[in-house]
Structure 1
């Protein structure tokens, strides 16, 4: 791959996908997705999330979250999140960034699908 930025992005997506598959029970369905058509559907699908991976020196969190949410919509998934590489660290130290509105919908989703005691 001749473009170093593209190579770094692909390496980050691959490392993040491998990490999630190893850490999430039944994570075999977590996968990098090929771009098809004109509407981007994210870099990785980890249902119910479309994930947009970012490995850049300059952080533009608002743009990343907007992109992830648009891509989740395009993919027909309820949640979008940006997964941002932390400089000098492995994939487990990366950041997952969501809007507060997405977090609220996620929290409502979890509460509706979790036993009533919620770990209390």
Structure 2
């Protein structure tokens, strides 16, 4: 699929992003290899900033996981780090694990302050 086909498929889905959340995520994941992927990412991200923020604040951990999965697909590194900051230490271990995977995928060194409840390691590793 080329960029034009992808954008044509995304356009009607973007009219109701909540209803088509899974399909849009799937399309973005499958087409990350496109040379013009950044154009598609920008197109979707400008419509979805509020949707992702809403899902990150949801009580349902499944919605938070969906939002965390979408962050590396949509946002530049600085914005993504801001969104992932609280999710890395989420109360639900599945959400925290997904957030750590997103941090690794984006190659971020650090997104949150160290957990002061634990002693720092004697020999810290880079990852």
Q: TM-score, with normalisation over the residues of structure 2?
A: 0.33
Considering fraction of residues, name the structure with more strand: 1
Please say which structure displays the higher CA radius of gyration.
Answer: 2
